[in-house]
A = this chain, B = another copy of it.
Amino acid sequence: MSGNFNGLLKAQWKQGRFLCVGLDSDFEKIPESARKQGIRETIVSFNRAIIDATHDLVCTYKPNPAFYEAHGDEGWKALRETIEYIHSAAPDVPVILDAKRGDIGNTNVAYAESAFDHLHADAITVQPYPGREALQPFLDRKDKGVIVWCRTSNGGAGEFQDLAVDGVPLYQFIARRVAEDWNKNKNCALVVGATYPKELAAVRAIVGDLPILIPGIGAQNGDIEKTVQAGKDSKGQGMIIAASRSIIFASSSADFAEASRAKAVEFHDAIKKSL
């Protein structure tokens, strides 16, 4: 369906695209004008409009399955159809399933099948907690991106992530392990919230040019200039800078798609200016 995640991503970066649109398509927030007969049709039609309006501006799309699972099998169908649409409308734009999955190995085999073979995502976000050995079924999928949750964007992220282990905060310890020990197939990346530019700079200093997915600009108020300064790699690339609600729900009126494009242009330009 699509090529190697890292290859697709690097081609986007070369074009100067670093923005990732999070398709957190909460049904309740979808504008009246985008509503169709059923839940599935409404979500898919809304997502198609957003994708049509933004795909020349983004390096990746990132649907979060939570907002689809909340509607059961109809939501699940909407998720699959959304990813299918991205692959057909924008075949050069890889799709990150922002699923934060993580279980023991036997179970992760099934999660990898779900993400990559059923949904046809190009990458998945995963939990670090069970360790590398458990996550091997994801890591073994050489063409797929495995993006490990490292420093999360939420206000209470520090409860465990900032605990000192071996003289460094846990999230830095994890960043080093992923960069130095987990990345045998060169398919790893990390998640670090834009809401924490100091922590982002610390991770960048540890991991060299490893790709970093950086959510939290937009609704979570991460600062774009600080994010780019802290997050860029040695080539001035290496970043997937994600916004969700602020783009896809930029307007609740009939102009929602144009408004999403306007917001994406604003973020794209602000990133470019900060590089």
Within 8 A of B (CB), among A168-184: 170, 173-174, 177
A66 touches B110 (CB 8 A): yes
Per-position contact with B for A110-135: 1 when CB-CB < 8 Å, else 0? 11011001110000000111111110
Q: How far is the CA of A26 from the CA of B111 in the complex (A)?
A: 12
Q: How far is the CA of A238 from the CA of B166 in the complex (A)?
A: 34
Residue of B nearest to A127 (CB): B127
B152 touches A130 (CB 8 A): yes
Question: Is A80's beta carbon under 8 Å from chain B?
Answer: yes
Residue of B nearest to A171 (CB): B129
Q: Which of B71, B77, B106, B129 contacts A129 (CB 8 A)?
A: B129
A133 touches B114 (CB 8 A): no
Question: Is A205's beta carbon under 8 Å from chain B?
Answer: no
Stretch with Cβ within 8 A of B (4 or more), from A50-58, A95-103, A249-257: A95-103
A interface residues (Cβ-Cβ under 8 A, vs B) = 24, 26, 64, 66-67, 69-74, 76-77, 80, 100-108, 110-111, 113-114, 117-119, 127-134, 149, 152-161, 163-166, 170, 173-174, 177, 245
Given A70-B110, A70-B114, A100-B127: 5 more A-B contacts, CB < 8 Å:
A64-B110, A72-B76, A76-B76, A127-B129, A133-B159
